[in-house]
A and B are shown apart, each in its own frame.
Chain A
Amino acid sequence: AQSVAQPEDQVNVAEGNPLTVKCTYSVSGNPYLFWYVQYPNRGLQFLLKYITGDNLVKGSYGFEAEFNKSQTSFHLKKPSALVSDSALYFCAVRGSTLGRLYFGRGTQLTVWP
Protein backbone atom coordinates (compact mmCIF):
# COMPACT_ATOMS: atom_id res chain seq x y z
CA ALA A 1 0.00 0.00 0.00
CA GLN A 2 1.13 3.54 -0.73
CA SER A 3 1.21 6.21 1.94
CA VAL A 4 2.97 9.39 2.99
CA ALA A 5 3.47 10.84 6.44
CA GLN A 6 3.95 14.46 7.39
CA PRO A 7 5.19 14.30 10.98
CA GLU A 8 4.63 17.98 11.77
CA ASP A 9 1.21 19.61 11.93
CA GLN A 10 2.78 23.04 12.23
CA VAL A 11 6.09 24.60 11.19
CA ASN A 12 7.00 28.13 12.23
CA VAL A 13 9.93 30.01 10.75
CA ALA A 14 11.12 33.61 10.63
CA GLU A 15 11.15 35.44 7.32
CA GLY A 16 14.50 35.13 5.60
CA ASN A 17 15.39 31.87 7.33
CA PRO A 18 15.49 28.54 5.51
CA LEU A 19 12.45 26.33 5.82
CA THR A 20 11.91 22.58 5.68
CA VAL A 21 8.60 20.73 5.58
CA LYS A 22 9.07 17.02 6.14
CA CYS A 23 7.54 14.09 4.30
CA THR A 24 8.29 10.38 4.44
CA TYR A 25 6.79 7.77 2.18
CA SER A 26 5.98 4.10 2.07
CA VAL A 27 5.46 2.51 -1.33
CA SER A 28 5.66 -0.80 -3.08
CA GLY A 29 7.56 -0.19 -6.26
CA ASN A 30 8.91 3.11 -7.52
CA PRO A 31 7.81 6.24 -5.68
CA TYR A 32 6.10 9.05 -7.59
CA LEU A 33 5.98 11.97 -5.18
CA PHE A 34 4.34 15.38 -5.28
CA TRP A 35 4.12 18.54 -3.22
CA TYR A 36 1.08 20.81 -3.27
CA VAL A 37 0.35 24.09 -1.47
CA GLN A 38 -3.06 25.41 -0.44
CA TYR A 39 -3.72 29.01 0.47
CA PRO A 40 -6.84 29.84 2.54
CA ASN A 41 -10.10 29.28 0.68
CA ARG A 42 -8.27 28.16 -2.43
CA GLY A 43 -7.64 24.94 -4.31
CA LEU A 44 -4.35 23.06 -4.25
CA GLN A 45 -1.46 24.35 -6.34
CA PHE A 46 1.16 21.99 -7.70
CA LEU A 47 4.71 22.84 -6.56
CA LEU A 48 6.94 20.02 -7.78
CA LYS A 49 7.24 16.30 -8.35
CA TYR A 50 9.77 13.50 -8.25
CA ILE A 51 9.38 10.80 -10.87
CA THR A 52 12.94 9.71 -11.59
CA GLY A 53 16.36 11.23 -12.10
CA ASP A 54 18.06 13.87 -9.96
CA ASN A 55 17.38 13.63 -6.26
CA LEU A 56 17.09 17.42 -5.96
CA VAL A 57 13.92 18.63 -7.63
CA LYS A 58 13.30 22.32 -8.26
CA GLY A 59 9.77 23.68 -8.37
CA SER A 60 7.66 26.80 -8.34
CA TYR A 61 8.17 29.90 -6.17
CA GLY A 62 11.75 28.98 -5.24
CA PHE A 63 10.84 25.68 -3.58
CA GLU A 64 12.86 22.52 -3.99
CA ALA A 65 12.64 19.02 -2.58
CA GLU A 66 15.22 16.40 -1.88
CA PHE A 67 14.42 12.76 -2.59
CA ASN A 68 16.26 10.37 -0.30
CA LYS A 69 15.69 6.72 -1.09
CA SER A 70 17.56 5.29 1.89
CA GLN A 71 15.58 7.43 4.33
CA THR A 72 12.35 7.19 2.27
CA SER A 73 11.97 10.95 2.55
CA PHE A 74 10.96 13.78 0.26
CA HIS A 75 11.39 16.96 2.27
CA LEU A 76 10.32 20.33 0.88
CA LYS A 77 12.82 23.16 1.28
CA LYS A 78 13.32 26.83 0.55
CA PRO A 79 16.53 28.75 1.27
CA SER A 80 14.82 31.98 2.38
CA ALA A 81 11.21 31.98 3.61
CA LEU A 82 8.70 34.72 2.77
CA VAL A 83 5.64 35.72 4.78
CA SER A 84 3.63 34.94 1.65
CA ASP A 85 4.78 31.29 1.87
CA SER A 86 2.46 30.85 4.86
CA ALA A 87 -0.02 28.17 3.78
CA LEU A 88 -0.99 24.51 4.15
CA TYR A 89 1.40 22.10 2.44
CA PHE A 90 0.53 18.58 1.33
CA CYS A 91 2.86 15.81 0.31
CA ALA A 92 1.34 13.12 -1.92
CA VAL A 93 2.29 9.83 -3.54
CA ARG A 94 0.78 8.17 -6.57
CA GLY A 95 -1.00 4.92 -5.88
CA SER A 96 -0.74 1.73 -7.86
CA THR A 97 -4.33 2.25 -8.97
CA LEU A 98 -4.13 4.67 -11.84
CA GLY A 99 -5.43 8.12 -10.98
CA ARG A 100 -5.18 7.80 -7.24
CA LEU A 101 -3.14 10.23 -5.11
CA TYR A 102 -2.51 9.53 -1.44
CA PHE A 103 -2.09 12.75 0.55
CA GLY A 104 -0.34 13.33 3.83
CA ARG A 105 -2.32 15.04 6.58
CA GLY A 106 -0.81 18.43 5.74
CA THR A 107 1.61 20.81 7.44
CA GLN A 108 0.64 24.37 8.26
CA LEU A 109 3.60 26.64 7.56
CA THR A 110 3.66 30.03 9.25
CA VAL A 111 6.38 32.50 8.35
CA TRP A 112 6.75 35.35 10.86
CA PRO A 113 7.89 38.79 9.68
Chain B
Amino acid sequence: DTEVTQTPKHLVMGMTNKKSLKCEQHMGHRAMYWYKQKAKKPPELMFVYSYEKLSINESVPSRFSPECPNSSLLNLHLHALQPEDSALYLCASSQDRGVDYEQFFGPGTRLTVL
Protein backbone atom coordinates (compact mmCIF):
# COMPACT_ATOMS: atom_id res chain seq x y z
CA ASP B 1 0.00 0.00 0.00
CA THR B 2 1.68 3.21 -1.18
CA GLU B 3 -1.17 5.55 -0.45
CA VAL B 4 -1.95 8.36 1.94
CA THR B 5 -5.68 8.73 2.54
CA GLN B 6 -7.47 11.79 3.85
CA THR B 7 -11.03 12.25 5.07
CA PRO B 8 -13.25 14.04 4.45
CA LYS B 9 -12.62 15.18 0.87
CA HIS B 10 -14.67 18.31 1.39
CA LEU B 11 -15.65 20.15 4.56
CA VAL B 12 -17.77 23.24 5.05
CA MET B 13 -17.87 24.70 8.54
CA GLY B 14 -18.96 27.80 10.35
CA MET B 15 -16.62 29.90 12.43
CA THR B 16 -18.00 28.46 15.68
CA ASN B 17 -17.80 24.80 14.67
CA LYS B 18 -15.35 22.15 15.79
CA LYS B 19 -14.27 19.62 13.20
CA SER B 20 -11.38 17.25 12.55
CA LEU B 21 -9.40 16.20 9.50
CA LYS B 22 -8.02 12.70 9.37
CA CYS B 23 -4.99 11.28 7.58
CA GLU B 24 -3.86 7.66 7.40
CA GLN B 25 -0.92 5.81 5.88
CA HIS B 26 0.09 2.16 6.02
CA MET B 27 3.55 2.41 4.51
CA GLY B 28 5.34 2.19 7.84
CA HIS B 29 6.44 5.82 7.53
CA ARG B 30 7.61 7.48 10.74
CA ALA B 31 7.28 11.12 9.68
CA MET B 32 3.96 12.79 8.92
CA TYR B 33 3.16 16.33 7.84
CA TRP B 34 0.30 18.81 7.56
CA TYR B 35 0.37 21.45 4.84
CA LYS B 36 -2.00 24.27 3.90
CA GLN B 37 -2.32 25.17 0.23
CA LYS B 38 -4.08 28.10 -1.37
CA ALA B 39 -5.10 27.93 -5.01
CA LYS B 40 -2.18 27.91 -7.48
CA LYS B 41 0.32 28.41 -4.62
CA PRO B 42 2.91 26.05 -3.16
CA PRO B 43 2.03 24.11 -0.01
CA GLU B 44 2.89 25.81 3.28
CA LEU B 45 4.20 23.58 6.04
CA MET B 46 2.15 23.64 9.25
CA PHE B 47 3.31 20.71 11.40
CA VAL B 48 5.75 17.82 11.32
CA TYR B 49 5.51 14.70 13.44
CA SER B 50 8.43 12.36 13.77
CA TYR B 51 7.99 9.05 15.58
CA GLU B 52 4.62 10.31 16.85
CA LYS B 53 6.13 13.40 18.45
CA LEU B 54 5.60 16.94 17.25
CA SER B 55 8.94 18.16 15.90
CA ILE B 56 7.97 21.26 13.90
CA ASN B 57 5.18 23.78 14.49
CA GLU B 58 5.39 26.61 12.00
CA SER B 59 3.85 29.15 14.40
CA VAL B 60 0.39 27.95 13.42
CA PRO B 61 -2.53 29.62 15.27
CA SER B 62 -3.89 27.59 18.16
CA ARG B 63 -7.24 27.17 16.41
CA PHE B 64 -5.40 24.36 14.56
CA SER B 65 -4.48 21.49 16.86
CA PRO B 66 -2.61 18.47 15.51
CA GLU B 67 -2.65 15.02 17.02
CA CYS B 68 -0.78 11.82 16.18
CA PRO B 69 -2.56 8.94 17.98
CA ASN B 70 -0.26 6.30 16.47
CA SER B 71 2.32 5.87 13.73
CA SER B 72 -0.33 5.47 11.01
CA LEU B 73 -2.74 8.22 11.93
CA LEU B 74 -2.59 11.99 11.92
CA ASN B 75 -5.45 14.29 12.86
CA LEU B 76 -5.93 18.02 12.60
CA HIS B 77 -8.52 19.43 14.98
CA LEU B 78 -10.16 22.67 13.91
CA HIS B 79 -11.93 25.17 16.14
CA ALA B 80 -13.10 28.75 15.69
CA LEU B 81 -11.61 29.06 12.24
CA GLN B 82 -11.66 32.20 10.13
CA PRO B 83 -12.76 32.52 6.48
CA GLU B 84 -9.11 33.05 5.48
CA ASP B 85 -8.41 29.52 6.71
CA SER B 86 -10.32 28.18 3.71
CA ALA B 87 -7.81 26.15 1.70
CA LEU B 88 -6.76 22.69 0.64
CA TYR B 89 -5.21 20.84 3.60
CA LEU B 90 -2.68 18.25 2.58
CA CYS B 91 -1.26 15.44 4.63
CA ALA B 92 2.03 13.81 3.69
CA SER B 93 4.28 11.08 5.03
CA SER B 94 7.85 9.98 4.50
CA GLN B 95 9.94 7.06 5.67
CA ASP B 96 11.79 9.37 8.00
CA ARG B 97 12.76 13.02 8.23
CA GLY B 98 16.06 12.33 6.49
CA VAL B 99 17.06 14.52 3.58
CA ASP B 100 16.82 11.85 0.91
CA TYR B 101 13.31 10.64 1.66
CA GLU B 102 10.55 11.89 -0.59
CA GLN B 103 7.20 12.82 0.86
CA PHE B 104 4.03 11.09 -0.28
CA PHE B 105 0.96 13.32 -0.32
CA GLY B 106 -2.69 12.54 0.21
CA PRO B 107 -5.40 13.99 -2.04
CA GLY B 108 -6.24 16.68 0.47
CA THR B 109 -9.32 18.02 2.25
CA ARG B 110 -10.93 21.06 0.67
CA LEU B 111 -12.01 23.24 3.61
CA THR B 112 -14.43 26.12 3.33
CA VAL B 113 -15.05 28.33 6.36
CA LEU B 114 -18.21 30.40 6.22
Contacts and interface: CB of A to CB of B under 8 A. Distances in A.
18 contacts: A42-B107, A43-B90, A44-B92, A44-B103, A44-B105, A88-B40, A90-B43, A94-B100, A98-B97, A98-B98, A98-B99, A99-B48, A99-B56, A100-B48, A101-B45, A101-B103, A105-B41, A105-B42
B77 to A, nearest CB: 21
Given A44-B43, A44-B105, 10 more contacts: A42-B108, A45-B105, A94-B99, A94-B100, A97-B56, A98-B50, A98-B99, A99-B55, A99-B56, A108-B40
Interface string B21-56: 000000000010100000011110100101000011
B42 A41 contact: no
Interface of B: 4, 6, 31, 33, 40-43, 45, 48, 50, 55-56, 90, 92, 94, 97-100, 102-108, 110
Interface in A45-63: 45-46, 49, 51
